Amino acid sequence: MYKRLAEAGTPVAITVDGKPISARAGDTVAAALIAAGIDHCRTTPVSGAPRAPYCLMGVCFECLVTVDGVGSRQGCLMPVRDGMTVETQTGKREAGR
């Protein structure tokens, strides 16, 4: 969906669901997901529908991800850091779990 204009930023190594992703210094978590072509970052708690970052300015809360073990972080407000682990969130309530 998106390409990078300049590949000038220093590479930053993060993992998304255990897979290494090459982010750049200056990326937010949400921007790194978009740049890596990751289609959606969570499924909703109500219907389980897939969602992806929408506003990238901290108001829509669509880019909620688990960062370094803490859930529901706003990916668009968090700068990437070397070694950061990002997990996509499965939201739908599952009976019996």
Partner 1 sequence: MNASDLASSYDLVVIGGGPAGLAAAALAARAGLATVLFDENPGVGGQIYRAITFSPVKDRAVLGEDYWAGAELAAEAQASGALIVNGATVWSLDPARLVGVSIAGQARLIEASRVIIATGSLERPFPIPGWTLPGVMSAGGAQTALKAQGLVPNGKTVLAGGGPLLWLLAAQILRAGGRLDAILDTTPRGNWLRALAHLPDFVLSPYFSKGLKLLREVRAKVRVIRVDRLEAVGGERLREVVFGTADGERRMPADLLLLHQGVVPNVNLAIAAGLAHTWNERQLCFEPVVDRDFNSSVPGISVAGDGAGIAGGTAAAERGRIAAIAAVRALKPEASVPDVQIVRQKLRREAMGRAFLDGLNRPAASFRQPTGDTIVCRCEEVTAKQVRDTADLGCEGPNQMKAFLRCGMGPCQGRLCGLTVTELIAAQRGTTPAEVGYYRLRPPVKPITLSELASLPIAEAERKAVER
Dihedral pair phi/psi, residue 13, rounded to 5°: -90, 120
Instruction: Tell me which of 14, 21, 31, 65 binds partner 1, using CB under 8 A.
Output: 31
Indicate if the alpha-carbon torsion angle 15, 87, 81, 63 is positive or negative.
positive
Q: Which is nearer to partner 1, 20 or 58 (CB)?
A: 58
CA distance 42 to 39: 10
As measured in angstroms, the least distance from the Cβ of 18 to partner 1 is: 21
By CB under 8 A, tell whether 49 contacts partner 1. yes
For residue 50, the Cα-to-chain-centroid distance in whole angstroms is 13
State the number of binding residues for partner 1 (CB under 8 A). Answer: 40
C-alpha span between 47 and 28 (Å, rounded)? 27
Interface residues with partner 1 (CB under 8 A) are: 1-6, 8-9, 24, 26-28, 31, 34-35, 39-40, 44, 46-47, 49-62, 64, 70, 72, 76-77, 79
